[in-house]
């Protein structure tokens, strides 16, 4: 069973999630700078969710590239990940409509946490199939980003009881960690690719 359709389907879902979020963006009530400014927090929450979907697409791209084949378990682990990502527009909208109130910000963070766990489960399924000596296991290495992120999410959930914006700050920190390019993985991807080509 090859991985092309898994990639195509995931690309489709991620492309739709990242794009339909804009349908949720309410246009300013009046044609004024003031009204535009009032939707600025909405814009930022859209940007944060856009960046998160971008990060998942990027990492998914690298991870599947290094994998060999997929089986039924992996297809469902992938759908599980897509399920939590598909809820981003919903939790973003609630957080935004509530004006960053406590419960919706907690729900948004919980959604991010579930997606991170689902990503980890998918990654482990792929590694188990390929073996500990495979390209994926070696590229990921100790995976400090994957292990740190859930901890920061949980910290953010705790901070939310102090002030919801502290939680949003924690979620933004995780996004920043992933935005910084991970040279090690990319190096492995490039090498694995060259090994196959030549």
Contact footprint for a copy of itself (CB under 8 A): 1-2, 5, 7-9, 11-20, 22-23, 25, 27-28, 31-33, 35-36, 47, 50, 54, 57-58, 61-62, 65, 71-73, 75-76, 79, 82-83, 86-87, 89-90, 93-94, 97-98, 101-104, 107, 179, 181-182, 186, 189-190, 193
> Quick one: 14 or 170, whose CB is closer to a copy of itself?
14
Answer yes or no: are the C-beta atoms of 45 and 95 closer than 8 Å.
Answer: yes
List the alpha helices (DSSP H) in 87-159.
88-97, 102-130, 135-140, 144-159
CB of 171 to a copy of itself, least distance (A): 17
Give me the half-sphere count of Cα atoms (radius 13 Å) on the Cβ side of residue 114. 17
Minimum gap (Å) between residue 83 Cβ and a copy of itself: 6
* 26 DSSP assignment: P
Answer yes or no: are the C-beta atoms of 60 and 10 closer than 8 Å.
yes
22 or 151: CB nearest a copy of itself: 22
Q: Shortest Cβ distance from residue 111 to a copy of itself (Å)? A: 11
Would you say 141 or 151 has its CB closer to a copy of itself? 141
Closest to 55 measured CA to CA, from 182, 142, 168, 144:
182
Closest to a copy of itself by CB, 30 or 151:
30
User: Is 172 strand, coil or helix?
Assistant: helix
Beta strands (DSSP E) in the chain are none
Please, which residue, 61 or 145, has the CB nearer to a copy of itself? 61
How far is the C-alpha of 7 from the C-alpha of 188, rounded, in Å?
Answer: 20
Give the C-alpha separation, 112 to 87, whole Å.
Answer: 10
């Amino acid at each position: 069973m090859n991985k092309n359709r898994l990639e195509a389907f995931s690309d489709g879902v991620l492309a739709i999630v990242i794009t339909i979020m804009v349908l949720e963006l309410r246009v300013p009530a009046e044609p004024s700078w003031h009204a535009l400014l009032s939707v600025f927090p909405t814009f930022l929450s859209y940007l944060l969710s856009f960046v998160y979907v971008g990060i998942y697409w990027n990492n998914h791209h690298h991870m599947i590239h290094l994998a060999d084949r997929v089986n039924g378990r992996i297809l469902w682990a992938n759908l599980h990940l897509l399920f939590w990502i598909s809820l981003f527009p919903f939790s973003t909208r609630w957080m935004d409509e509530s004006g960053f109130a406590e419960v919706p910000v907690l729900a948004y963070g919980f959604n991010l946490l579930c997606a991170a766990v689902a990503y980890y489960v998918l990654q482990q399924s792929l590694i188990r199939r390929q073996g500990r000596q495979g390209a994926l296991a070696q590229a990921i290495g100790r995976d400090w980003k994957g292990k740190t992120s859930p901890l920061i999410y949980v910290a953010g959930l705790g901070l939310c009881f102090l002030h919801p914006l502290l939680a949003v700050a924690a979620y933004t920190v995780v996004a920043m960690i992933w935005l910084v390019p991970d040279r090690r993985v990319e190096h492995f991807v490039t090498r694995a690719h060259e090994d196959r080509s030549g």
